[in-house]
Amino acid sequence: MIIKDKERKLIEIFFYVSKKYESDLKFLCERFSNNDEPKFSDVELMTVYLFVMHHEQQFKIKHIHRFTKEYLNSWFPDLPSYQAFNNRLNRLHNAFAKLTQIVLEEKQPTNCCLDQSLLDSMPIITCSGKRRGKVAPELTDKGYNSTKGFYYYGLKLHALGFRRIGKLPHPEEILFTSASVNDLTLYKDAWSNKRNRVFYGDKIYNNDAFFKDMKKNYNSEMLTPVKGIKGMSENMKQFNKAADDLFSTAVSRVRQPIESLFNWIIERTDIQRASKVRSTKGLLVHIYGKLSVAFIQLIF
């Protein structure tokens, strides 16, 4: 049994997922077999995953299955075995990715600054850099996290978010790359053609020549903390120090909320730790399913 408030939220999640499943999600996980309508439906499976992880903070699949079996049995009497539950879940990564996109588009707050964007990345770790990663080699590789100073195997989550003054940014786009992909390279390929936009990034996005062309072609600019220039004399460094420090502090304060957004997602979903994942489909469910969990609260 669960308390009444949680019952209401379970019902809300079920009806929201059911509605989106009929309009969009079912086309991403269609079955072409005699078992195309299982007793325990995809909607029920997604509802259980979202509800238990979001409200009960159970991050492992076996714990989600166990909680459902023990406390939600009257709601989901046709719950399959853990093995079948896990296999079924691995088929739904595209549905979770689409659900995340739908929620973020439909529930975009009205206080977003649509001409200002914050961007950054964070690691999704499948194993430490001391061992060779074997999970999803077509998606993952070895990278370095400069913030915490360690090597790892896995992915990078890249987020571009609309600025909301005094609040967490609202994600406009979230992309994944292998761990070795440079943040600036991803930005150039995916987001540099957005027009009439001010971007706030950290020092890794510093590239004066590229951003001069971007300003000319798209009327957009990138603001980053000031990066030291190799070969600059000590006199010039000291001459510019006061202005550079003030500018860098101002940019860092504006972009700090995207780091808070990452911390919030990690706290809600434990998305960074993917060391228990054992397959490519499992890794895709891990990243897209947990993003759905993080942002499903926007429907309440």
Q: What is the mean pLDDT of residues 237-255?
A: 82
In which residue are the tokens 């529930």 written? 107
> What's the mean pLDDT in 151-164?
97
Per-residue pLDDT, averaged over 7-20, amounts to: 95
pLDDT of 42 > 90? The answer is: yes
What are the φ/ψ torsions at residue 74 (nearest 5 degrees)? -70, -25
Does the structure show a pLDDT above 80 at 237?
Answer: no
Q: Which of 110-124, 128-142, 160-174 has the lowest mean pLDDT?
A: 128-142
What gap in Å lies between CA 190 and CA 263, rounded to an integer? 24
pLDDT at 231 over 70: no
pLDDT for the residue 181: 97
Contact at 8 Å (CB) between 295 and 103? yes
Q: What is the mean pLDDT of the chain?
A: 91
State the DSSP string of 90-148.
Answer: HTTHHHHHHHHHHHHHHT--TT-EEEEEEEEEEEEEEEETTS---S-TTT-EEEEETTT
Residue 41, pLDDT score: 94
- Please work out, in degrees rounded to the nearest 5, the angle formed at the alpha carbon of residue 30 by the alpha carbons of 24 and 33: 160
Predicted local confidence at residue 221, as pLDDT: 96
pLDDT tens-place string over residues 43-93: 999 999 999 999 999 999 999 999 999 999 999 999 999 999 999 999 999
Q: How confident is the model at residue 148 (pLDDT cuts 50, 70, 90)?
A: confident
Average pLDDT over every residue of 16-36? 85
Handedness of CA 39, 43, 44, 48 (dihedral sign): positive
State pLDDT tens for residues 93-131.
Answer: 999 999 999 999 999 999 999 999 999 999 999 998 888
- Classify the C-alpha dihedral 168-172-178-183 as positive or negative: negative
- The residues, ordered by sequence, that sit 6+ positions from 62 with a Cβ below 8 Å of its Cβ are 82
Q: Which residue in 246, 251, 128 sits closest to 179, CA to CA?
A: 128
Per-residue model confidence as pLDDT tens digits over 201-229: 999 998 989 999 999 999 999 999 987 55
